[in-house]
A and B are shown apart, each in its own frame.
Chain A
Amino acid sequence: EAEVAQSPRYKITEKSQAVAFWCDPISGHATLYWYRQILGQGPELLVQFQDESVVDDSQLPKDRFSAERLKGVDSTLKIQPAELGDSAMYLCASSPRRAGGYNEQFFGPGTRLTVL
């Protein structure tokens, strides 16, 4: 069964350090999403890619966060420097290319980030 892959699964870092997360969407899925989820809340969209282009990064803290999907397949999300408030679950999801309003998203296992 096709799955979204993410690595690492867990990351512990000290504040001011750089961290990077990797995501490989389900094969053929054109849309890729990075979310941040804090315990007890719904996922918060950080950035959305359609193929290699950014569609929405309005909630991405651009002073410290960056994301890329150079070949329109896998993607990397980076934080530099990490802050204590960045501790959260970082989720990657992908959607197939379909006409109409069908935008079901399939999630990877997530990366649990702890900033000390």
Chain B
Amino acid sequence: QKEVEQNSGPLSVPEGAIASLNCTYSDRGSQSFFWYRQYSGKSPELIMSIYSNGDKEDGRFTAQLNKASQYVSLLIRDSQPSDSATYLCAVGNAGNNRKLIWGLGTSLAVNP
């Protein structure tokens, strides 16, 4: 059973702090890793994708991938109240018909 695990939270951080979200996965053949942001009542929005070990930065967001340890993380610098949402981790394997395996999401609350 291929799984993606995330802490459900809620993770609470003060405005301006760094929020750190973590995700582990079980399928060693996984090749693509995604972070989606989902506001309450809305659909998921892709915010980061990462395919190779290391860090990938996009604005205030940094995705970190460690395939040997099978984890991927998302750092949000200078957190804003507008970052309060659920963050979904999704993992893909090209040999799995391009299907993504989804975590349950981590709820983030950024307090002003």
Cα A44 to Cα B4 with chains together (Å): 13
Interface size class of chain A, counting residues whose CB lies under 8 Å from the partner chain = 20 to 34
Interface size class of chain B, counting residues whose CB lies under 8 Å from the partner chain = 20 to 34
A45 close to B (CB within 8 Å): yes
Given that A42-B102, A102-B51 are known contacts, is A107 also in contact with B44, CB under 8 Å in the complex? yes
Chain B residues near A89 (CB-CB < 8 A): 43
Q: Cβ of A40 and Cβ of B104 under 8 Å apart?
A: yes
Chain A residues near B2 (CB-CB < 8 A): none
Question: Which of B12-20, B61-69, B75-83, B92-100 makes up part of the contact surface?
Answer: B92-100
A101 close to B (CB within 8 Å): yes
A48 close to B (CB within 8 Å): yes
Chain A residues near B103 (CB-CB < 8 A): 42
Q: Cβ of B97 and Cβ of A55 under 8 Å apart?
A: yes
Query: Which of B43, B98, B102 interacts with A103 by CB under 8 Å?
Result: B98
Cα A105 to Cα B45 with chains together (Å): 9
Q: Cβ of B49 and Cβ of A43 under 8 Å apart?
A: no
B32 close to A (CB within 8 Å): yes
Chain A residues near B102 (CB-CB < 8 A): 42-44
Q: Cβ of B45 and Cβ of A31 under 8 Å apart?
A: no
Chain B residues near A45 (CB-CB < 8 A): 99-100
Question: What sequence of 0s and 1s flags, for each residue 93-111 of chain A, a beta carbon within 8 Å of any chain B beta carbon?
Answer: 0010000111111111110
B60 close to A (CB within 8 Å): no
10 A–B pairs (Cβ distance < 8 Å), ordered by A: A31-B98, A42-B88, A43-B102, A45-B99, A48-B98, A48-B99, A56-B97, A104-B34, A104-B46, A108-B43
